[in-house]
Amino acid sequence: MRTLHADVAVVGTGAGGAVAAKELAEAGLRVVVLEEGDWHPPQTLTARPRDMLVELYRDAGQIATVGTPPIVLPLGRAVGGTTLVNSGTCFRTPRHVLDAWRADDGLELELDFDRVEAELNVVEVPPQLAGRNAELVRQGAARLGLSGGYLRRNVRGCVGSGVCAYGCPAGAKQHVGATYVPKATAAGAELLTGVRIRRIHTARDGRVSGVEGDGVRVQAPRVVLAAGAIHTPVLLARNRLGRGPLGDNLSIHPATAARARFDEEVRLWDGVPQSYYVDALAGEGIMLEGIAGPPDYLAMAIPKHGREHRDLMLDARRLAQFGVMVHDTGRGRVRNLLGRPLIRYDLAPADARRFQRGFELLARIWFAAGAREVVVPIAGVPPLRDGDTTPLRAAHVRPRDLTLMAFHPLGTARASADPARGVLDADLQVRGTSGLYVADGAAVPTSLGVNPQITIMALAARLAQHLACRS
Ligand SMILES: Cc1cc2nc3c(=O)[nH]c(=O)nc-3n(C[C@H](O)[C@H](O)[C@H](O)COP(=O)(O)OP(=O)(O)OC[C@H]3O[C@@H](n4cnc5c(N)ncnc54)[C@H](O)[C@@H]3O)c2cc1C
Ligand code: SF4
């Protein structure tokens, strides 16, 4: 057993862990960072979905929830965590969400978004890289007078190659493995990859004393867990730590994509996959965001089979695709099943109706832009033609009728000043175990309605500052 000593051990190098490690190391603390995945420099990223899913994602991206409907929930496993494979979209935590956290959970959070965005080089997608797929939605939305815009993303030198979800071969995406992790190690942090932490050690007085896994033990008076919203509660549970609603309160931002057929060539794989959004229904918890990828991804993603699948793929160059994401009201839970997560989530009927509403707006946008046909992933709803959305509006959409994915698990070790609501206190410390903190999506108290990486990073930066001040 190799034993290391540190002021702080950080578990995980994703959005939360990498930021915490860098800020703590730069504050002069001895930091050891432990990551289950490997380091993948840009020259090793082939952009081929079949290969990269296996290399960069946990369980080849095939993790799914148990419930109605089952929802595929991909997670990154690498230096950089899920930020290595994400779309790079950057939203700040909406003001009304921060206000709700203050009112409901007593969380007074002044988050320094400027600092995080400067590290990541967050910039708006230039129109010439947005792709025809986004341009059609922009045109349709403009004709209907709907609000939207080009997304802000963490990139430097993006060439619009369209393969963000499989790692950026151009090295343009400024994921935390390429930004925060190198700064952490430059400031003296020691990074160990290929190490899965299984044990959290505590002393008799209930203080944390270190972590252990895969032949490595780190003795440290402070531990920051950042294994993500699915694995942090499992790690706590298998070590019998964490009080209150551990593993409950899981929100995921359920999402899915619809497709449209145009007479012109769209080539949805050209340009930034997630480059444009329409927020006309954001007040109802519905966001439309671009989502695209290479043709082999499209073949896997289309929820059709047989002749219908063949016909769509034969017309792949003329297909457009766009996503609908819902600010979910339903909640799921994560449980420890022999060291692995069992994820239970049932889509709330009200959220199913939000998808219906989102698709209806998207169909109107596409028809306004000249679409010939719109195909929505709702069982029993036929392809929409001639600008007619009646079959969609008339459908009684139940959760089981939808084909969904989700990319934003949050909330399974929620922070709250109220011990009955929060596994973590307002300083993100695990109740009952002093010195043990959480700095990942698990800490985020509620669904956000927008993509969460900036929120998680800003929370982690705040925690690191707090720990550095107390050292
Ligand atoms: C395809 C996709 C696209 C997305 N696009 C966006 C986007 O455009 N914008 C956005 O804001 N968000 C996006 N997200 C979500 C965003 O990337 C995540 O919300 C964010 O990375 C979560 O941060 P985290 O720190 O909670 O966990 P992660 O980033 O998942 O990091 C957790 C890390 O911990 C490691 N780990 C887990 N268990 C252990 C253990 N026991 N020991 C050691 N290491 C461990 C994992 O290997 C992983 O590297 C996307 C997600 C996906 C899947
Ligand atoms: S579009 Fe291509 S170049 Fe731009 S960030 Fe994504 S993978 Fe990298």
DSSP codes of every residue in 290-354 = E----HHHHHHH----HHHHHHHHHTGGGEEEEEEEE-----BEEEEETTEEEEE----HHHHHH
Question: 3-state DSSP call for residue 372?
Answer: coil
Amino acid identity at 73: L
Pairing of strands 208-213, 340-344: unpaired
For residue 380, give every residue at least 6 positions away whose Cβ sits within 8 Å of its Cβ, in sequence order, or none.
Answer: 395, 401
- Between 330 and 312, the more confident residue is 330
175, 253, 327, 408: which is the annotated catalytic residue?
A: 408
* CB contact at 8 A, 99 and 432: no
Q: How far apart are CA 183 and CA 32, in angstroms?
A: 13
Q: How far apart are CA 314 and CA 296, in angstroms?
A: 12
Query: Among 82, 291, 343, 459, which residue has the most ligand 1 atoms within 8 Å of its CB, making it the best to mutate?
Result: 82
Which ligand places an atom closest to the C-alpha of 163?
2
Whether the predicted model's global pTM rises above the 0.95 cut: yes
* CB contact at 8 A, 288 and 277: yes
Average pLDDT over residues 329-353: 96
* CB contact at 8 A, 278 and 141: yes
Q: Which atom of ligand 2 is nearest to the CA of 273?
A: 1
What residues are in contact with ligand 2 under a 6 Å CB criterion? 88, 155, 158-164, 168, 170, 172-173, 272
Question: 3-state DSSP call for residue 286?
Answer: strand
pLDDT over 80 (residue 222): yes
Sheet holding 222-225, edge to edge: 190-193, 31-35, 8-11, 222-225, 436-438
HSE at residue 173, side-chain half, CA atoms within 13 A, is 30
Q: Is omega for the bond preceding 69 within 30 degrees of 0, making it cis?
A: yes
Cα of 157 vs centre of ligand 2, distance in Å, is 9
Predicted confidence (pLDDT) per residue in 68-111, tens digit: 999 999 999 999 999 999 999 999 999 999 999 999 999 998 89
The proportion of the chain whose per-residue pLDDT surpasses 70, expressed as a percent, equals 100
Pairing of strands 71-72, 148-150: unpaired
Question: 3-state DSSP call for residue 468?
Answer: helix
How far is residue 276 CA from its own chain's centroid?
17
3-state secondary structure 25-76: HHCCCCEEEEECCECCCHHHCCCCHHHHHHHHEHHHHCCECECCCCEECCCE
Query: Among 73, 86, 231, which residue has the most ligand 1 atoms within 8 Å of its CB, making it the best to mutate?
Result: 86
Question: 3-state DSSP call for residue 281?
Answer: coil
Query: Looking at residue 301, what is its pLDDT?
Result: 81
Check pocket membership of 81 for ligand 1, CB cut-off 6 A. yes
Cα of 293 vs centre of ligand 2, distance in Å, is 11
Cα dist. 366→275, 352, 378 in Å? 16, 21, 17
Q: Which atom of ligand 2 is nearest to the CA of 166?
A: 7
Predicted confidence (pLDDT) per residue in 424-448, tens digit: 999 999 999 999 999 999 999 999 9
Beta strands in 54-198 (DSSP E): 71-72, 122-124, 148-150, 152-154, 190-193
Cα of 405 vs centre of ligand 2, distance in Å, is 22
* CB contact at 8 A, 55 and 84: no
Q: Give catalytic status of residue 305 as yes or no.
A: no
Tokens 């965590």 belong to: 81
At 198, the pLDDT band (50, 70, 90 cuts) reads: very high
Q: Which atom of ligand 1 is nearest to the CA of 440?
A: 26
Query: Looking at residue 360, what is its pLDDT?
Result: 98
* CB contact at 8 A, 96 and 158: no
pLDDT over 80 (residue 470): no
Which helix (H) or strand (E) is 4 found in, with range? strand 2-5
At 393, the pLDDT band (50, 70, 90 cuts) reads: very high
At 176, the pLDDT band (50, 70, 90 cuts) reads: very high
Of 232, 267, 225, 262, residue with least CA distance to 250? 232
Cα of 14 vs centre of ligand 1, distance in Å, is 5
Which helix (H) or strand (E) is 467 found in, with range? helix 453-470
Cα of 155 vs centre of ligand 1, distance in Å, is 17
Average pLDDT over residues 391-411: 97
